[in-house]
Structure 1
Amino acid sequence: MRRTGRKLGILFLTVVVAACGLPLFGCSCSGGGQQGQPQAAEPKLAIIHTNDTHGYDMPAEPTDSAPGVIGMAAVAQIKKDYEEQGYEVLLLDDGDAIQDNVLVNLSRGEAAIDFMNAAGYDAMSIGNHEFDWGADNLEALIAKANFPVLAANITVDATGEPFAQANTVFELGDGTKVGVFGLATPETQTKSSPKNVAGLTFAAGEDMYRCAQEQVDELKAQGCTVIVCLGHLGSLGGAAPNRSIDVLENTEGIDVFIDGHDHEVVNEEVNGSLLVSTGCHIENIGVLLYEDGAFTEQMVEYGTYDGKDEATDKLISQTNDEVKSQLSETIGTTDVALDGERDPGVRTQETNLGDFAADAMLWQARQASGQTIDGAIVNGGNIRASIGVGEISMETLMTVFPYNNSLNAVTLTGAELLEVLEAATFCLPEASGGFPQVAGITYLVDTTVPYENGEQYPDSTYYAPANPGARVTITDVGGKGFSLDADYTIAASSFITAGGDTYYAVAEAYQATGYTTGYSDTEALINYLQTELGGVIDATYGQAGERILIAVE
């Protein structure tokens, strides 16, 4: 097999399916106009795929709060297994690989690219978290990768040129050409800090559908008979009209859409195309087998495969040891388990970990400013994992809170704060990374009332609420009750004050009234735990408080 412009040699696939313990589930479909074509000399092709690995490259046993992680060394070995079995193999990743777990964070994602190079990846798409260290850092990582990093729908405003390579073509041994193109979620404009993507435009909605169709047409013109989209978009309702299913329903000719972003396991047919996603954190590894003109998805689940590539495993283990040696310091303990799960969890409801984090931000801002700070907001997407009972190391803290944003303060009117909370809870009861965990604030969300879009926020996929207060009722801020006309000073991370997620109204206010406290959110958590709580999170945080009430049908 070869990638156009670069010889790769012939790839032979690994294990018989039964030998790998690969459970077959879901549908098979051909898509993209492949039905009815002659099947002579069909290529024996396997596409192994991952998404949202987030630096969880080291294998890990399941815990009470997290599934098991198969690990990147297993991905590398599965590729070798299928090659040895006589398949031609493509190893693809759908983005969000370089940021989250401390294993890759300390190197600003460089370690993740090293692991992927070792595993033999053939291509990846750009996820929103690829921008978390800034566009310049991402460009350096793209240069470091031994494989193309794809995104067809990102344009540099100053030049009108693409930010990244749009597509790549692989030619199999029998001459069959496989075209792969990338799409990045337009939500990147606010899912990463807006400053990290300043000067870039992400084609969205109809423009993204048109971009995708142009990619399909271009690849077909190059002789590709198999078309794969690596689209880091997600398929949940809150991301409409920029979901994978929206693209598939508005384009023709995509055989397989490998998705990510929302951490869901997906295997379904949409408009004649196969839509697949493995979840996240290498809890599963996807294997697409192409036979008789159709793809069938098979999933390697945790516990069904114990192979590992020794060279990749050695590299990851050495990096892990180095990280642990740097972050082994114990900074406190917790007597209670702290809930940082996504859904249900910090993206859908108040949790005790959300309370702890918001309390820490509020406390640190008050200590730093010497001024009245009425409340604090922490977006649920800032909390990446749970914390179990026992010691809390620096490694644990930086795994749960990896971003190390600056801690800022901003003064909002009651009307602005109401807009902020209404917008940040727009898709409840569906999960959103913008969901506001709070301190010093109590509010109610009535999810039986539909969210009505007002004007779209600039440079965002989100909309202001048409009627602030239709779903959200604020009952108290800073022990003062609540008034639309009053001013409230709120502590929040620089991600929120820059307008990340749905928080555009905060960014506007910050330009006039905001300031930095001089601390990071990580420092706030450490200082609050060690100084205010005496190093112990006790039964006070045993349950979530009653700061957020959610009315459902």
Structure 2
Amino acid sequence: MVKALSRRAFAAICAIALVFGIVSLSACTVSEAPSQSGEQPQSEGKLAIIHTNDTHGYDMAAEPTDSSPGVIGMAAVAQLKKDYEAQGYNVLLLDDGDAIQDNVLVNLSQGRAAIDFMNSAGYDAMSIGNHEFDWGADNLEKLIGRADFPVLAANVTVDATGEPFARSNAVFEFDDGTRVGVFGLATPETQTKSSPKNVAGLTFAAGEDMYRCAQEQVDELREQGCAIVVCLGHLGSVGGIAPNRSLDVLANTEGIDVFIDGHDHEVVNEMVNGSLLVSTGCHTENIGVVLCEDGSFVEEMVAYGAYEGKDQATDDLVRATHDEVKNQLSEVIGVTNVDLDGERDPGVRTQETNLGDFAADAMLWQANQASGQTIDGAIVNGGSIRASIGAGEVSMETLMTVFPYNNSLNVVTLKGSELLEIIEAATFCLPEASGGFPQVAGIAYAVDTLAPYETGDQYPNSTYYAPANPGSRVTILDVGGRGFSLDDEYSIAASSFITSGGDTYYAVAEAYQKTGFTTGYSDTDALVNYLQTALGGVVDESYEKPRERIFVAVE
């Protein structure tokens, strides 16, 4: 866990380490949608923009759990569109990205199933999220070709040609003459939020360049006679990095009527610089509905439990895919006697958790087994852990839901100074959440969140910055049971996402080019093998609580 300490206690821990020579210095309106019985009055000429974001393959309806408020599902989205159309609305069904990856329901097909569900539901357009690149740019191009709707990203270009990677915008004209223009923006964080190798050769316009791109799109769509302009911008407004948030785009452009946001999994409904900014959270926990009449835009979000409609054809398709995946991944590989915490915040993106410990222990164990040498430590970025594991049987489906990426497990040798920079950079925004937060094994470190993070140079092809003064917030207490020195070298196990420079880990990629090697195992292999072999198939009570490897100073 991130053990919360007073600053005095924090200082004491660091002082003891020095003595023993082991340290070298948002609100939303919720309403019911029109029912299939036609209870709401006819409303000719009105526009309903139904929108989703960050569905992440959670396309099958599911009851609430301790960690989820419930999943409405794609069959409900499909029926909702039909219901509004039946009520006389002009309807657009839009998605803001991160649709094809995360849940095993869509992962086994590398996103094809997600696109098939969206085709069945009748989507009119989607933007590209960072996770659309998780199976590689070539795979995404195939999915774009498979989609019955345009996939949009105005700010992504191909370096070799200077041409757009995908369509920039689309114009929709309804029978009453209403023209609606929609353009897409992909987060510049994609350069590190997906594995960097997956976006090699692509440029994501950021900051002023992205604002200029957005304004050009607005102007172009207005020139085409669009009375309404919608931005599908997978950027995020909460916890994102200025200057690449939706808030930054809206502050630096004019003429966007509705900005449909995503990426940060927040529920948003607010006016910003004359534009309506909305986002539904994630996993179809809500379905957004923006209603437009006489130039006024109002979000009337449909929450889980507020709507029971279901399109049968879409439901049949989703269930058939679900059953097929279940059959493939039904093998039980072990049990856990304790709940393993994979929540985001507070959780694996802000503090040490027992699931983070389990995952890092597995990587370290597997790297030791594979290399035949002693590996000092392991780092697992919190963003790679996608869900919790409840006490009970653990199947392959469970593990692949929680750890969906199946990255290769690599080893890199780092100088102590490099390791300090890496952990300092990866914890730059604590106590705010970050997908780069390092869950660790064989390593103990402390973070003083009361000290400011001073930015140095921006990492190449990244939205992140190196720390100007590594060690100003982070103190490494121990690595591999042999203390810590800036000058010593340490062998560290990590996924290929980290060793290729994902998230804040650019410095790892530099070192990996010189000293790295692959173990021949994936991170999924490590988890399975550690559970079955090292733990004898049982995660026991020794993992009931985090093991106090990470300490954080608080007031």
Q: TM-score, normalised by structure 2?
A: 0.92
Aligned to 1:32: none
Q: Partners in 2 of 1:84 and 1:19 — Cα distance?
A: 10
Aligned to 2:354: 352
Aligned to 1:386: 388
Does structure 1 residue 204 correspond to structure 2 residue 206?
Answer: yes
Q: What amino acid sits opposite 1:55 in the alignment?
A: G
Secondary structure of the 1:53 match is: coil
- CA positional deviation for 1:18: 6.3
Aligned to 1:189: 191
Residues 164-313 of structure 1: pairs in structure 2 closer than 5 A: 164-313=166-315
Q: Partners in 2 of 1:463 and 1:351 — Cα distance?
A: 26
Which residue among 429, 432, 439 is the counterpart of 1:430?
Answer: 432
Aligned to 2:366: 364
The answer to whether the 8 A contact 2:151-2:166 is kept is yes
Aligned to 2:520: 518
Secondary structure of the 2:339 match is: coil
The answer to whether the 8 A contact 1:238-1:427 is kept is no
Aligned to 2:538: 536
The answer to whether the 8 A contact 1:54-1:100 is kept is yes
Q: Partners in 2 of 1:226 and 1:336 — Cα distance?
A: 52
Which residue among 53, 56, 64 is the counterpart of 1:54?
Answer: 56
- CA positional deviation for 1:20: 8.4
The answer to whether the 8 A contact 2:425-2:504 is kept is yes
- CA positional deviation for 1:62: 1.0
Q: Partners in 2 of 1:369 and 1:47 — Cα distance?
A: 54
- CA positional deviation for 1:417: 0.2
Q: Partners in 2 of 1:237 and 1:401 — Cα distance?
A: 23
Q: Partners in 1 of 2:351 and 2:460 — Cα distance?
A: 27
Q: Partners in 2 of 1:209 and 1:159 — Cα distance?
A: 22
Which residue among 26, 41, 47 is the counterpart of 1:45?
Answer: 47
Aligned to 2:112: 110
Which residue among 111, 120, 123 is the counterpart of 2:122?
Answer: 120
Which residue among 339, 345, 350 is the counterpart of 1:337?
Answer: 339
Q: Partners in 1 of 2:402 and 2:33 — Cα distance?
A: 36
Q: Partners in 1 of 2:154 and 2:34 — Cα distance?
A: 37
Identity of aligned residues (%): 82
- CA positional deviation for 1:43: 3.0
The answer to whether the 8 A contact 2:50-2:287 is kept is yes
Q: What amino acid sits opposite 1:116 in the alignment?
A: M
The answer to whether the 8 A contact 1:43-1:172 is kept is no
The answer to whether the 8 A contact 1:42-1:293 is kept is no
Secondary structure of the 2:444 match is: strand
The answer to whether the 8 A contact 1:20-1:304 is kept is no
Residues 467-546 of structure 1: pairs in structure 2 closer than 5 A: 467-546=469-548
The number of residue pairs the alignment matches comes to: 520
**CA-to-partner distance for each residue in 1:424-454, whole Å, 9 max, x for gaps?**
0111111110000000000011111111110
Q: Partners in 2 of 1:155 and 1:20 — Cα distance?
A: 43
Q: Partners in 1 of 2:241 and 2:267 — Cα distance?
A: 16
**CA-to-partner distance for each residue in 1:110-158, whole Å, 9 max, x for gaps?**
0000000000000000000000000000000000000000000000000
- CA positional deviation for 1:19: 4.5
**CA-to-partner distance for each residue in 1:499-518, whole Å, 9 max, x for gaps?**
00000000000000000001
The answer to whether the 8 A contact 1:420-1:502 is kept is yes
Q: What amino acid sits opposite 1:69 in the alignment?
A: V
The answer to whether the 8 A contact 2:32-2:306 is kept is no
Q: Partners in 2 of 1:114 and 1:255 — Cα distance?
A: 30
Q: Which moved more, 1:171-180 or 1:312-321?
A: 171-180
Q: Partners in 2 of 1:423 and 1:48 — Cα distance?
A: 38
The answer to whether the 8 A contact 2:44-2:89 is kept is no
Q: Partners in 2 of 1:71 and 1:20 — Cα distance?
A: 17
- CA positional deviation for 1:42: 8.4
- CA positional deviation for 1:63: 1.1
**CA-to-partner distance for each residue in 1:271-294, whole Å, 9 max, x for gaps?**
110100000000000000001211
Which residue among 80, 99, 102 is the counterpart of 1:100?
Answer: 102
Q: Partners in 2 of 1:182 and 1:500 — Cα distance?
A: 23
Does structure 1 residue 447 correspond to structure 2 residue 449?
Answer: yes
The answer to whether the 8 A contact 2:239-2:433 is kept is no
Q: What amino acid sits opposite 1:207 in the alignment?
A: D
Q: Partners in 1 of 2:33 and 2:313 — Cα distance?
A: 24
Secondary structure of the 2:227 match is: strand
RMSD: 1.3
Secondary structure of the 2:59 match is: coil
Aligned to 1:29: none
Q: In the superposition, relative to structure 1, how do residues 465 and 291 fare at CA in structure 2: closer, same or farther (>3 Å)?
A: same
Q: Partners in 2 of 1:381 and 1:74 — Cα distance?
A: 29
Aligned to 2:468: 466
Q: What amino acid sits opposite 1:486 in the alignment?
A: D
- CA positional deviation for 1:304: 1.1
Q: Which moved more, 1:297-306 or 1:136-145?
A: 297-306
- CA positional deviation for 1:552: 2.2
Which residue among 390, 395, 398 is the counterpart of 1:396?
Answer: 398
Q: TM-score, normalised by structure 1?
A: 0.93
Aligned to 2:162: 160
Q: Partners in 2 of 1:237 and 1:320 — Cα distance?
A: 33
Residues 112-151 of structure 1: pairs in structure 2 closer than 5 A: 112-151=114-153
The answer to whether the 8 A contact 2:240-2:264 is kept is no
- CA positional deviation for 1:408: 0.1
Q: What amino acid sits opposite 2:51 in the alignment?
A: H
Q: What amino acid sits opposite 1:351 in the alignment?
A: T
Q: Partners in 2 of 1:42 and 1:248 — Cα distance?
A: 31
Secondary structure of the 1:488 match is: strand
